[in-house]
Amino acid sequence: MKILVAEKIAQKGIDTLMESGMEVDVKLGITREELLASIKNYDAIIVRSVTKINEEFYEHATNLKVVGRAGNGVDNIEMDGATKRGIIVVNTPDANTVSAAEHTIGLLLSSGRNIPQANALIKDKKWDRSKFTGVELLNKTVGIVGLGRIGSLVATRLQSFGMHVIAYDPYITDERFKKFGAEKKETLAELVKESDFITVHTPKTDETFGMIGDEEFKIAKKGVRVVNCARGGIIDEAALERALKNGIVASAGIDVLVDEPNPVSPLIDLDNVVITPHLGADTFEAQDNVGLTVAKEVIHALRGEMVPNAVNLPTLQHQELESIKPYLSLGEILGKFYHQLRKDSINKIEIIYSGDVAKYETSVITLSILKGIFEPILKEQVNYVNASLIAKNRGIDVIEAKGSDALNYLNLVRIIITSKEKQFTIAGTISGKGQERVVEVNGYELDLSPSKYMIVAKNIDRPGIIGQVGTLLGVNKINIATMQVSRNFKGETALMFLTVDSDVPKHTLEVLTNIDGIVKVKFIRL
């Protein structure tokens, strides 16, 4: 597998990639033309905020499986394009939040006290204190827009300066405002009217781009001070320029611009603006953290494993992912039975989670089941990212439910697949020892520890058949590891499940099918 590192990440991250045995090319400053011409040779790319991962890029990236964003914001990555191609996008949302919060406070203090301007003057060997009088933070009101990871760190830190913290974030609970000591504002206008300082910490979305503009500056306190260490344009640049010039805004601390990495903006030339070139995450600690995290995630994703920070998948905390892992494996195994037993098109897949498993983020387990169902017929074209899209495009209804009865098991995952006329059911559990068990196939109860090679045979329930199957496999040098027979009624049909130590050639399966009393034989490869 080949990975392209297109923007600078910490050496620790590069070392981790190399140690994984993957081939790594570090091409910092690669031109767009070179990138588009060579990206077809790579399985993964690692970028920061500069490289545009858009439709044009995807059209050239014919072998790409993973985009690793060394950082938080994914506004330079077109998500739909990735998802429809099954490309997994991973980021490192927690790795640089402290650095970004500290940089925010640095910008707030340095713009409020004119520190960089005074520094530049004295370095020019000029002593002048008259122009640099600033403001204290004590007893001032700071309005935080977006009380997520970074906004909340800023809130708690600014309280230690004796500031009154108010916040606007319509998407979080009242408890979160309380937890971070922020007074909740119902509208952005309320926050703007009451703030001496405003700092924005939302992602860049259609709703947030330009959310602080001329209208807000009209109602803001005269002399308000603003900080944008989130994304360029959340505070409208042209409106901010006007407000800084007409004295509505006394100062601004800016880390991000709409057009990056282009150092051209009217804001740059204004004396009352302190500006940095997107340095929020640029600390040794954050970069080590980001580099290492993104490297590990890209390796996991390339190996087809679920990763905690996959942006185009349901979000999982690391701990939850650890608890859920056995079910991901179980789900994939159960799913893989279907198309190896049946050649037909599916209309509906119902999945019922009961017992312990029901308390987890089961949508991720559903993805693993879908991945398992499609893998035997689509091979590597299916993964966690595109599995539900594949189901949708095939017109399959996927229904997830939580059941109240796990029968005698600690947990139970039961799948009912409906095709044109028939239904197929399969159920499995994770045992107390953490092992996957298949406990039902089409109404036949069993306790199967699934293995790489399995034979499933339907037979008439009468003496002699099991012995013939054993003898024939022996003659054909196939070693049986385990065998189970399940029947519901004496003398009717039974299901035979054999785990074997090797692949079984087609002709051997045909010989088995020819045994008198065998109805059909299927081979399952996991």
Ligand X SMILES: O=C(O)CC[C@@H](O)C(=O)O
Ligand Y SMILES: NC(=O)c1ccc[n+]([C@@H]2O[C@H](COP(=O)([O-])OP(=O)(O)OC[C@H]3O[C@@H](n4cnc5c(N)ncnc54)[C@H](O)[C@@H]3O)[C@@H](O)[C@H]2O)c1
Q: What is the binding site for ligand Y (CB under 6 A)?
A: 72-73, 93, 96-97, 100, 145-151, 168-172, 201-205, 207-208, 229-231, 255-256, 278, 280-281
Instruction: Closer to ligand X by CB, 15 or 94: give it.
Output: 94
- Least CB distance from residue 301 to ligand Y, whole Å? 21
- Least CB distance from residue 52 to ligand X, whole Å? 13
DSSP 180: T
Point out the residue whose Cβ comes nearest to ligand Y: 148
Give the Å distances, CA to CA, from 30 to 68, 69, 228. Answer: 17, 16, 29
H or E, element range at 440? strand 436-441
**Among ligand Y, ligand X, none, residue 229 binds (CB under 5-8 Å by kind):** ligand Y
Q: Mark whether 183 is an active-site residue.
A: no
* Spatial separation of the C-alpha atoms in residues 247 and 251, rounded to whole Å: 9
Instruction: Closer to ligand X by CB, 274 or 498: give it.
Output: 274
Of 278, 300, 339, 437, the active-site residue reads 278
Of 48, 69, 113, 231, the active-site residue reads 231
* Residue (of 120, 446, 95) closest to 286 by Cα position: 95
- Least CB distance from residue 49 to ligand X, whole Å? 4
Maximum alpha-carbon separation in the chain: 105
Contacts with 432 (C-beta within 8 Å, 6 or more apart), sequence order:
410
Residues that bind ligand X (CB under 6 A): 48-49, 71-73, 96, 278, 280-281
* Spatial separation of the C-alpha atoms in residues 374 and 261, rounded to whole Å: 42
**Among ligand Y, ligand X, none, residue 184 binds (CB under 5-8 Å by kind):** none
**Among ligand X, ligand Y, none, residue 48 binds (CB under 5-8 Å by kind):** ligand X
* Residue (of 199, 167, 193) closest to 182 by Cα position: 167
Instruction: Closer to ligand X by CB, 109 or 279: give it.
Output: 279
**Among ligand Y, ligand X, none, residue 203 binds (CB under 5-8 Å by kind):** ligand Y
Instruction: Closer to ligand X by CB, 9 or 188: give it.
Output: 9
The structure tokens listed for 103 are 């940089």
Instruction: Closer to ligand Y by CB, 8 or 231: give it.
Output: 231
- Least CB distance from residue 85 to ligand Y, whole Å? 24
- Least CB distance from residue 177 to ligand Y, whole Å? 11
Q: Mark whether 23 is an active-site residue.
A: no
- Least CB distance from residue 104 to ligand Y, whole Å? 8
Of 183, 260, 361, 400, the active-site residue reads 260
Q: How would you classify the pairing of strands 346-355 and 411-419?
A: antiparallel
* Spatial separation of the C-alpha atoms in residues 184 and 191, rounded to whole Å: 9
146: left (phi over 0), alpha (psi -120 to 50) or beta: left
Buried b or exposed e, range 409-432, using 16+ CB within 10 angstroms? bebbbbbebbbeeeebbbbbbbee
Instruction: Closer to ligand Y by CB, 201 or 336: give it.
Output: 201
Beta strands in 6-151 (DSSP E): 23-26, 44-47, 66-69, 88-90, 141-145
Residues tagged active-site? 231, 260, 278
